[in-house]
Homo-oligomer: A and B are copies of this chain.
Amino acid sequence: MKGIRQLAKHLDISIGTVSRALNDRPDVNEETRKRVLAAAEELGYVANQSGRSLRQGTTNVIGLMIESSKETVENSDNFFLGVTGGLQSVLSRHKLDLLMLPCPNDEDPHEYLKRMVARRIVDAMIISATQRVDKRIDLLVKAKIPFVALGRSTSGGNHTWIDLDFEGVAACAVDRLVSKGHRRIAIAAPSNDINLGYIFVDTYRQALERHGIAFDPSLVIRVKSSEQGGYQAGHEMLRLDSKPTAIILIYELMAIGLYRRLNEAGIIPGRDLAVIGFREEPRGKFLQPSLTCFRMSLRDLGVELAETLLATMPAYAAHYPKGARNTIWPLELVPGESDAFSLKA
């Protein structure tokens, strides 16, 4: 099949009519439209995307930028694959395709995105792993590319973003531990440069003060969000003069390392120390004793992400309410045995 020209010749019709028929435009007789559709199906004609894109200035492709750094691969679970399912279910309804753009780990994410944007291969973008200050956001705003950020940021004025409910999780964890009588609660988190780290620790501090507990900086243990970070967090914690009776982990993978360090020290989670993890992670599911943590639906998050994005795209906005530009995504507590340790009778 050579192109629309062949199809038109085969039908003995002008290419303009064929094009309008295929694109559900008015100004075409219902019967000819059926003929065209049938012929296209029969000859297996599908419009060449390059030609379409060039003419329309639109590609029908949504880009999802992910970072394939070594750390991401080892630490994250199938986060993106999970979200992707929800994204697809919405986008495919509008005949939009999802393009995953994995930034090479030796290239600056900003430069990578810049190139992709300049080549005009996507109509809109979803970016993830946003930094507190993220040049990519300014870039997208300036280029007038509709986008949604997965993760809040202070860059680029008030752009559209969706982020997990760190505040809710941190507050819930603190409340829960305090209600069990804990007052010395440690927290293991990455540095403040990471959005997650900053917000989480800040909320933790506020929650403590709400309960009349003084914030003790020595209980904030700065480690990487990895298994190894968890091990190290356990190590640091054990070296404190005045030991905490509970610990909150900002990323659940840490739990695995923490458990190992605790095991070495003969400390049993849930009996000698209360532990709460942040996000449900498949690998954590098999810890003994089971970890108290927070669950979310990746698929639903994908759906929300897609709908939010479409609302920012002029061509599709009509179908979607211009809801809040910023969404806090809730998580659900999954009680386990790891925080059974109570200081109350």
Contacts and interface: CB of A to CB of B under 8 A. Distances in A.
Q: How large is the interface on A (under 10, 10 to 19, 20 to 34, 35 or more residues)?
A: 35 or more
Interface string A49-78: 111011000010000001010101110111
Contacts of A298: 73
B47 A68 contact: no
Interface in A288-323: 298
A119 B84 CA distance: 22
Given A73-B78, A104-B88, A50 B59 contact: yes
B81 A46 contact: no
A102 B81 contact: yes
16 contacts: A49-B120, A50-B50, A50-B120, A68-B85, A70-B85, A73-B78, A73-B85, A76-B78, A78-B78, A85-B104, A89-B104, A89-B106, A92-B104, A92-B107, A98-B102, A100-B102
A217 interface: no
A38 interface: no
Contact of A51 (B54, B73, B98, B286): B54
- Copies per assembly: 2
A329 interface: no
B283 A48 contact: no
Interface in A234-267: 256
Interface string A98-121: 111110111100000001101111
Interface of A: 44-51, 53-54, 59, 66, 68, 70, 72-74, 76-78, 80-82, 84-85, 88-89, 92, 97-102, 104-107, 115-116, 118-121, 256, 282-283, 286-287, 298
Nearest to A64: B100
Contact of A48 (B88, B106, B119): B119
A77 B80 CA distance: 11
Nearest to A121: B49
A47 B120 CA distance: 9
Given A50-B59, A88-B104, A286-B286, 6 more contacts: A48-B54, A49-B121, A68-B81, A68-B88, A74-B282, A282-B283
A112 to B, nearest CB: 9
Q: Which of A46, A68, A119, A256 has the most CB of B within 10 A?
A: A68
A55 to B, nearest CB: 9
Nearest to A288: B288
A281 to B, nearest CB: 9
A68 B98 CA distance: 12
